[in-house]
């Protein structure tokens, strides 16, 4: 008898297919190959922002009862907006289960994350830096990311950007 597939697994597989067919601008994401409840994403800094030229790695950790409960959201790459390796308090995260909508998808979460990144509203896990400091971190972001095993494994095309820029 085959093991029962959880509703979270089924939903995340559907979200992955939708995300590949209809990508979120400035964001790519991949599930951990050994655990579909853990995803990594990369936000590419929009040209008209202090994050331009930057690549920001982060992680989503979905609960077993997703989509009925929201994920935890983390930013791994130093970026000047959010603390690194800290659960972020966003209306789309597990800090606010009361505002969570089960109809929201991984694409919705990533779109919301980008929106929060581009504004300056203070929240738990946010930090304040100048645009100049954020541009400096953008320039250093690939260097930071290539030291991360998940970044190199899940986003090899971005790892190559680092080496092409060195030529």
Instruction: Please write the tens of the pLDDT for every residue from 73-82.
Output: 999 999 999 9
Residues of the chain with pLDDT under 70: 1-5, 161-167
Confidence at residue 149, expressed as pLDDT on a 0 to 100 scale: 96
Alpha-carbon dihedral sign for residues 79, 34, 19, 97: negative
139: closest CA among 120, 155, 161, 113? 161
Confidence at residue 167, expressed as pLDDT on a 0 to 100 scale: 44
Instruction: Please write the tens of the pLDDT for every residue from 105-134.
Output: 999 999 999 999 999 999 889 999 999 999
Which position among 89, 127, 152, 161 bears the catalytic label? 89
Confidence at residue 1, expressed as pLDDT on a 0 to 100 scale: 44
Q: For the whole model, what pTM was predicted?
A: 0.93
User: Does residue 89 carry a catalytic annotation?
Assistant: yes
Confidence at residue 5, expressed as pLDDT on a 0 to 100 scale: 65
């Amino acid at each position: 008898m085959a093991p029962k597939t959880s509703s979270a697994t089924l939903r995340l597989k559907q979200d992955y297919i939708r995300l590949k067919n209809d990508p979120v601008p400035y964001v790519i994401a991949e599930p951990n190959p050994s655990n579909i409840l853990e995803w990594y994403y990369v936000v590419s800094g929009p040209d008209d922002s202090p994050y331009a030229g930057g690549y920001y790695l982060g992680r989503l950790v979905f609960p077993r009862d997703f989509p009925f409960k929201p994920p935890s959201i983390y930013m791994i790459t130093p970026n000047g907006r959010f603390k690194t390796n800290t659960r972020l308090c966003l209306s789309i995260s597990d800090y606010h289960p009361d505002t969570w909508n089960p109809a929201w998808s991984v694409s919705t979460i990533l779109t919301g994350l980008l929106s929060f990144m581009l504004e300056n509203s203070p929240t738990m896990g946010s930090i304040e830096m100048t645009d100049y400091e954020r541009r400096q971190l953008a320039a250093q972001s690939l260097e930071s990311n290539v030291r991360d095993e998940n970044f190199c494994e899940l986003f090899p095309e971005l790892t190559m950007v680092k080496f092409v820029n060195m030529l």
